[in-house]
Structure 1
Amino acid sequence: MLKKAAWQPSPAAGEARTASSKDQYIDPVGVLRVLRRRWAVIASILALAVAVAGIYVATTSQRYTASSLLLFNVRDAEQFQQRGYPNPTADSAYIDSQVEVLRSEAIARSVVRNLNLLSDPEFISRTGGLVGIFGKISSAIFGSGTKPNQEGRAVAAFQRNLTIKRIGSTYVIQIDYRSLDATKAARISNAVTEAYLSDQNASKYRFSYDIDAWLRDRLDKLKAQAQNSERAVAEYKAKSNVVGADAPLLSGQQLADLSSGRRVLLKDLESSAQSHRMLYETFLQRVTEFTNQQSFPTNEARIVSEASPLLVKNDPKPVLVLGAATILGLIGGLAVAFGREYLDKSFRSSEQVEKELGTECLGVLPTIGPARDRLPNRRRDGESGDRSMPTFARKHRFVVREPFSQFAETVRSSKIAADVAGLHRPNKVIGITSVRPKEGKTLFAANLSEMMALCGCKVLLIDCQLRNAGMTAQFAPAAKAGVIEVITGQAAVKDVIWRDSSTNLSFLPAVKAVANRDPTAGRVLGPAAMCQLTQLTSAGLETLLQSVQDFYDYVILDLASLTPMADVKAISHLIDSFILVIELGGTSQEAAIDALDSAPPIFEKLLGVVLNQHRQSRLKRLAR
């Protein structure tokens, strides 16, 4: 990771310093910048959510909701309960269970059949609105699976619009039903309560019938056991010629005639008969009580409020739906905005440059509007032999046309940084480069040179982009020779330099044809020949720079990018300072760090970074 910060005047001039680390914390200003930078994304998602909600409200049919209330009579039912047995309706879990019973398919089918809802279009037609549209799309893509019958479809539609809920911790259950018709909604809500009560009564009667049959069978068995026991006692007495072991008519002679064993057996038989008789009478009493209770027409639940038609449409609620959509859209927009900001590893502010690269950010260049100048007259600029730079290059001479613009102020701050650095160390030769191609370094190099010339400095601008001589096409489109001819000894510097008459800027072009051809033979170069040309250019450029430094205050080199070419690294020892141009929002931080880590000499001589291609309308959002 880079450690060096931008050079600044200090007691040890030119000594590298380590960028100060900042604690990780939530920066409110940074959050505000993210919101202002990503406002379009947030607004788009918010507008989409509101639009979907609006379509839903517009396409969804208005519905009415009717409610009825069902109360479980806990106290009233307790007086009919058998003593010693708990009341199941007093249990809260019992009430919750009855809520689920009301939601059951059995109740739904009963209401559908009782009200003949199979002939109602609301229950057998396809769902409309967005739900229906999405359902059709889903069926077309994934298939509809098993097709439900007509009654099943009606039951499903019925259950979708039925809402059963318990009111707080009370014993009251609310039955809500939504329908396109208010009267129908009330009728169905009441029908649900009636179906539930009927189902409970039928269940109770079925249960009573089963219990009664079991009780009578058990009672008959107990009665038979009691009778058999009494019969056995009577037979034994008759056989023994006694009335009973404790009978008062039994004489002393009879008792004497009975052995002790026979007396014990008789007592056992009489005790068994008495026990069976008591068990039978007790069970008979309980059966009588149960029969009397079941014959009394009681029910644990009763209707306390019947549903009535409402004249107010309450579903869907436009305010509620749009409000929820607004909140969800805002949350979604913020999530996407901060997610994109987190995933966006490009440079978005000067603070990021200083933090990640450990160097100074010299400024942020706003984007210049498209130039409207016409192409130059080639006869006037070439055939006459006049090497005056044309004035049609508006973008590359923007600081001359608009010296008080924000663009010019940023360029001027870079010029001042170069001047201050020159007070402490040699800083005549300045190279302008970028991390990758097409980041605007040529535009910045041209305007920086023009700015320095405007301030009275003698400046030589050299186009060193041998693979793409873009600056030459703007400043010297009719040039026949340039920097390659000079470093190879084919031309003298004074014979190929072009000048700007308004600023006295000197410009050494690079003929575009030399980008991939041998200037002496005119043939296409291979990899080995290109390597030899690079070495020749490095040696020749050193001689060129030594010959012009005495005549100029600054020599500005418009260099190639650091990646993927290696040209800048080959001549880095010839340059006093570098200014790195980075496309704002385009070049990743990782790419910039890797490029500078791979070229330590360039990083050590780095004067600062200029963020380029920032929209004028958004410049204030990144202001420090």
Structure 2
Amino acid sequence: MLEKTTWQTPAAAGDPRIVNSKDPYIDLVGVFRVLRRRWALIASILAFAISVAAIYVAATPQRYTASSLLLFDVRAAEPFQQRGYPNAAADSAYIDSQVEVLKSEAIARSVVRNLNLLSDPEFISRAGGFLRILHKISNALVGSGRISTEPDQEGRAVAAFQANLTIKRIGSTYVIQIDYRSRDATKAARISNAVSDAYLVDQHESKYRLASHVDVWLRDRLDKLKAQAQKSERAVAEYKAKNNVVGADSPLLNEQQLADLSSGRRVLLKDLESSAQSYRTLYEAFLQRVTEFTNQESFPANEARIVSEASPMLVKNDPKPVLVFGAASLLGLVGGLLVALVREYLDGSFRSSEQVEKELDIECLGVLPTIRPAHDGLPKRRRDAESGDRFTSPSSRKHRFVVREPLSRFAETIRSVKVAADIAGLHRPNKIIGVTSARPYEGKTLLAANLSEMMELSGCKVLLIDCDLRNLGMTAQFAPAAKAGVTEVIAGQAAVKDIIWRDPFTNLSFLPAKAAVNRDPKAGAVLTPADLCQRTQLTAVGLKMLLESIRDPYDYVILDLASVTPMADVKAISHLIDSFILVIELGRTSRETVIDALDSVPPLFDKLLGVVLNQHQQKRRTRIRDVLRLWGGLQPWRERRFSN
């Protein structure tokens, strides 16, 4: 037996009992064991994901996608563009901006109106119903009794249009791809091309509007420059006439006239002539630019052009079953693995013998597999029993499973438990063995019965005693007609030899227990709480006398005890028992429960032969319980079950 570790106090210096620490590495073997245990959960999530994908593929209408390509020519010149400066269209942000323009509601409304999509059911019915549901939900949430006005018909069509339109830039090029999905291949191509046309028309109209505004400004500016030039020239003429410098038809001064003028008048005249010349030059240059812009306005340039028109597709490409099922399978598998690992991390129960030995530092004697239905064949009854003996009921098959299936894995596990008891008996007294569990209904009765049968088959003389006075699972299986039991023996109301029952197949001796009732069947009076407590609890003094009287005639005395929690029977009689076997149900009993049980009864831990994991109905319960834990995080159902 392995050295055990207590949980009450830390180990002192030099104490050979060392608490196992968690390994810093990832146990790949443990991970594979987790996946093997949780395969049903992983498969369920994977199947659910694939089912959702199948429903989506079946329910989603098949659609065609048509594509057209739009190219932006970065060499197109803008009006009044100065040489030496880059074109604004060459900027990558400009191309991204045009992608957003193509996605705009203005383009969508233009296409809807041009193609008369308001009468197409694909753009009206589904979108309208969905939006109507959203508005009803919003009204219910805000508590408004007034029904909100639904979006107009064109708005619903635009929403449906934009839901199937995809605009994307191809890499870092100046090409934009316009994709549209529709149930009709011809309609998809027609709408994709209509989006390109609508964009080009919108750009032309924008340029015309801009050119109109610029033309108005230019002509207003040209009129002002012309007026200023004329005003300057008129000022020069008036000055010359006032000073009798030249005639009206002579624009310039001669040498004699300049000599006759004073220096101040000459300076003023030069300034007036210079200003008039500047205004005249500016006016002529601006007039030339206005003429050029007017010509460009007549033939406006556009940076975008269609390089590939959309054509009807002959193959349906949406939804893509291979892609949908592949993504669903991947997500389902990854999700199943994550849920399985999280469930395993949050699961506080024991799942393997290695886990028991690692975390409790207690030897695991074996794992009892699930008992499957088998044939009813049993060995013949022994004939060496006295004719007056009471024979146990042959109806309990699983409590005699080692007799029916001596070569099964279940029998081999029971045999290893029996060997551990024999080895322990070589070093210390080990005749009285108590079988218990941390909590009720973990399979201790099944283990106690089959262990007793195995010891009897091996040639030992064994007495099996039902000491679980509240459950009486053993008595219900072996001697349901018993009228007296261990409590009557302890009370001195019956002798052991008068109430012992024998197994007709193995000659195993069995001491039953009598059920306690609230009414005494003989006196017809209601039992007091003290009498009821006496009949449902074993007293240490009475049990000590019983065990002393049967210690010599038997090689082993197996006690089917009550569970450690919530009853106190095991704690009361623990000092009378040589060894204990603790049964833990695999995947159900938490580690905290086992540790608390061992802490509450110190002799139980000191005399513990080992732990037996019981795989009670594990495969049947795993499928149901894992699904419940997956969706609701529910704890295992704590349904009452017969002993196993």
Indicate whether the TM-score tops 0.5: yes
- Of 563, 568, 571 in structure 2, the residue corresponding to residue 569 of structure 1 is 571
Structure 1 242/577 Cα, relative in aligned 2: closer, same or farther at 3 Å? farther
Instruction: For residues 290-346 of structure 1, give each alpha carbon's deviation from its aligned partner in whole angstroms, at most 9, with x where no partner exists.
Output: 333333342111111111122222222222222222222222222332232223222
Q: Distance in 2 between matches of 1:279 and 1:487?
A: 131
- 2:561 counterpart letter in structure 1: L
Residues 22 and 421 of structure 1, relative CA distance in 2, 3 Å threshold = farther
Say if 1:114 and 1:616 are closer, same or farther in 2 by CA, change over 3 A: closer
- Kept in 1, the 8 Å contact 2:50–2:325? The answer is yes
* SS of corresponding position for 1:21: coil
Separation in structure 1 between the aligned mates of residue 278 and residue 309 of structure 2, nearest angstrom: 55
Partner of 1:204: 207
Paired residue for 1:543, among 542, 545, 551? 545
Q: Give the SS at the match of 1:513.
A: coil
Partner of 1:604: 606
1:135 and 1:156, CA in 2 relative to 1: closer, same or farther beyond 3 A?
closer
Q: Indicate whether 1:72 and 2:72 are aligned.
A: yes
Which residue in the other structure is 2:426 paired with?
423
Note the C-alpha offset of 1:279: 3.4
Equivalence for 1:594 = 596
Shift in Å at residue 501 of structure 1?
4.4
Which residue of structure 1 aligns with residue 486 of structure 2?
483
Match of residue 580 from structure 1: 582
Select between 536-545 and 190-199 the one with higher mean Cα deviation. Answer: 536-545
1:326-475 → structure 2 map (5 Å cutoff):
326-369=329-372, 386-475=389-478
* Secondary structure in 2 matching 1:489: coil
Match of 1:217, SS state, is: helix
Q: Which runs of 5+ in 1 are unaligned?
A: 7-14, 375-383, 620-624
What residue identity is the alignment partner of 1:568?
V
2:318 is the alignment partner of 1:312: no
The corresponding residue for 1:378 is none
Residue 165 (1) aligns with residue 168 (2): yes
Query: How many Å separate the matches in 1 of 2:112 and 2:416?
Result: 82
Contact 1:245 1:267 in 2 (8 A): no
1:366-385 deviations in Å (ceiling 9; x for gaps):
222468989xxxxxxxxx96
Deviation at 1:560, TM superposition (A): 0.6
- After TM superposition, the structure 1 = structure 2 runs for residues 555-566 of structure 1, keeping only pairs within 5 Å, are 555-566=557-568
Shift of the 177–252 alpha-carbon distance from structure 1 to 2, 3 Å rule, reads closer
Equivalent residues, number: 592
Residue correspondence of structure 1 range 241-320 to structure 2 within 5 A: 241-242=244-245, 247-251=253-257, 253-255=259-261, 258=262, 260-320=263-323
Distance 1:150 1:526, change over 3 A: farther
* Closer, same or farther: CA 591–510 of 1 in aligned 2, 3 Å: same
CA gap 1:201/1:79 in 2 versus in 1, 3 angstroms: closer
Quick one: which amino acid aligns to residue 234 of structure 1? A
Looking at structure 2, the residues matched to 291 and 124 of structure 1 have their Cα atoms a distance apart, in angstroms, of 45
Deviations 1:138-161 (A, max 9, x none): 787667975222211211121122
- Matched residue type, 1:575: I
Amino acid at match of 1:18: I
Distance in 2, matches of 1:350 and 1:109, equals 70
Q: How does 1:25-174 map to 2 (within 5 A)?
A: 25-77=25-77, 81-126=81-126, 147-174=150-177
CA contact (8 A) 2:79 2:293 kept: no
Distance 2:151 2:44 in 1: 41
**Alpha carbons of 1:82 and 1:176: their partners in 2 closer, same or farther (altered >3 Å)?**
same
Distance change in 2, residues 1:394/1:453 (3 Å): same
Contact persistence 2:574–2:604 (CA under 8 A):
yes
Which one of 486, 496, 516 corresponds to residue 499 of structure 2? 496
Whichever residue aligns with residue 460 of structure 1, its letter is: L
Correspondence for 2:234: 231
Q: Which residue of 2 aligns with 1:10?
A: none
SS in 2 for 1:174: strand
1:207 partner SS: helix
Counterpart CA distance in 2 for 1:385 and 1:305 is: 105
Deviation of the 1:485 alpha carbon: 1.2
Distance 1:97 1:394, change over 3 A: same
**1:502 Cα deviation (Å)?**
3.6
Shift of 1:75: 2.5
Are 2:184 and 1:178 equivalent residues in the alignment?
no
Alpha-carbon deviations, 1:445-468, whole Å to 9, x = none? 111111111112222211111112
SS, match of residue 390 in structure 1: coil
Taking the aligned partners of 1:455 and 1:569, their CA distance within structure 2 comes to: 31
* Contact persistence 2:76–2:301 (CA under 8 A): no
Structure 1 contact 77–299 (Cα < 8 Å) conserved: no
CA distance in 2, matches of 1:218, 1:80: 15
SS at match of 2:391: coil
The answer to whether the Cα contact below 8 Å between 1:362 and 1:610 also exists between their aligned partners in 2 is yes
Residues in 2 aligned to 1:16 and 1:484: alpha-carbon distance in whole angstroms: 43
CA contact (8 A) 1:373 1:393 kept: no
Shift of 1:209: 0.4
Give how far 1:193 is off: 0.8
Residue 611 of structure 1 aligns to which amino acid in structure 2?
L
Residues 242, 250 of structure 1: 8 Å contact kept: no
Secondary structure of 1:228's counterpart equals: helix
Q: For the residues of structure 1 that align with 2:93 and 2:169, how far apart are their CA atoms?
A: 11
> Take 1:135 and 1:369, find their aligned partners in 2: how far apart are those partners?
57
Larger deviation: 348-357 or 226-235? 226-235
* CA displacement 1:489-525 (0-9 Å, x = unmatched): 22222222222344332221111136x6789977555
Distance in 2 (CA, whole Å) between partners of 1:117 and 1:389 is 87
Distance in 2 separating the partners of 1:570 and 1:43: 48
Native 8 Å contact 1:579 1:608 kept in 2 = yes
| Letter in structure 1 aligned against 2:37 | R
Alignment partner of 1:173: what SS? strand
**Contact 1:5–1:360 (Cα < 8 Å) also in 2:** no
**Which residue number in structure 2 is paired with residue 377 of structure 1?**
none
RMSD between aligned residues: 3.2
Structure-1 separation of matches of 2:124 and 2:504: 87
Alignment partners' CA distance in 2, 1:296 and 1:188:
28
What SS does structure 1 have at the residue aligned with 2:390? Answer: coil
**8 Å contact 2:20–2:359 — kept in the other structure?**
no
Which has the larger displacement, 387-396 or 478-487?
Answer: 387-396
1:263 Cα deviation from its structure 2 partner = 4.0
User: Are the counterparts in 2 of residues 80 and 293 from structure 1 also a CA contact under 8 Å?
Assistant: no
2:67–2:309 CA contact under 8 A, matched in 1:
yes
Distance 1:125 1:601, change over 3 A: same
